[in-house]
Structure 1
Amino acid sequence: MNADPLLRLRVLAAGLHAGLYAEEHIALPYERVWAVASDLSGELPHLIPFLREFRVPPGDADRVPALAVGRSGVRAPFEVRLAPGWCLMQSRLIVGGMAAVPEGDGTRFAVLGATRPAPLRPAQWLYGRVLGERRGRAFVHRVTERAASR
């Protein structure tokens, strides 16, 4: 990635009017934090409460197909772009992303969640005002806990 992954995620969050965005310093080394964030199949179901499974085929491709399976059994195909410090996951309705960079002795980490269709923006706005900040901080906290236990 040529550009700072955090700056890219901030710009994406602003452009999508993301209902969920959180950015914090985590007092753990970048390698440990990113090991959790980039392990989508193994860790994402622990980080997102309503997600039962996130299937990503093994490999090194820049763009890979993935399948999200919710706790209710609902399935959604995603396209995933994963690179050091950068993860972007997009379905027809949802955009999710994570970014991380080393910062001092720790890591600056960010997460975003947004809807894609414009008609869903009012719901996204309401979600952002009511739950977005709290859910974003909770996500960062879960990443921190998972990284600390590695």
Structure 2
Amino acid sequence: MSNDLDPVRRLRVLAAGLHAGMYAEEHIPLPYEQVWAVAADLPAELPRLVPFLHAFHVPAGDTDRKQALAVARPGLREEFDVRLASGWCLMQSRLIVGGMAAVPEGGGTRFAVLGATRPTALRPVQWLYGRLLGDRRGRAFVGRVAERARLR
């Protein structure tokens, strides 16, 4: 038996370790390839999935580690280190950690998303966000991924 965790389990462990303010995990009744095509298309899809995001610039190339630039609607900019592999996406800036993971499951896809702050000084804000909005925002994100995947 292997000790390796699949991408969704790995994201779940990361969310617990970060005390993530947002974490959602659901089964999407669509093929993995269709769902992951949305999650992996960061420049085109991430601004559709994250309401306050205007653009997410990722350089072209086949490497699994890239530097990206997020541009929020008010014009704020943040650089992210992005790790992208099949079923796994982890995006980290100096303030934020975001992630998505997916695995095939029962004719569909198990999909997860997380959002967390990095500095421990922001933990009280993250805790409050998680209590007030985290669950709803996480489920909404998964719903948008499913809707975008249906359109493909």
2:56 corresponds to 1:54:
yes
Deviations 1:66-96 (A, max 9, x none): 0000001100000000000000000000000
**Aligned match of 2:104:** 102
CA distance in structure 2 between the partners assigned to 1:6 and 1:67 by the alignment: 25
Q: Which amino acid aligns with 1:83?
A: A
**Aligned match of 1:133:** 135
CA distance in structure 1 between the partners assigned to 2:19 and 2:5 by the alignment: 21
**Aligned match of 1:111:** 113
Q: Which amino acid aligns with 1:21?
A: Y
1:16 pairs with one of 7, 15, 18 = 18
**Aligned match of 2:76:** 74
Deviation of the 1:63 alpha carbon: 1.1
Work out the number of aligned pairs and report it.
Answer: 149
Q: Which amino acid aligns with 1:100?
A: A
Structure-1-length-normalised TM-score = 0.98
**Aligned match of 1:44:** 46
Structure 1 runs not aligned, ≥5 long: none
Q: Which amino acid aligns with 1:79?
A: D
CA distance in structure 1 between the partners assigned to 2:141 and 2:5 by the alignment: 24
What is the aligned-residue RMSD (CA, Å)?
0.6
Structure 2 runs not aligned, ≥5 long: none
Structure-2-length-normalised TM-score = 0.97
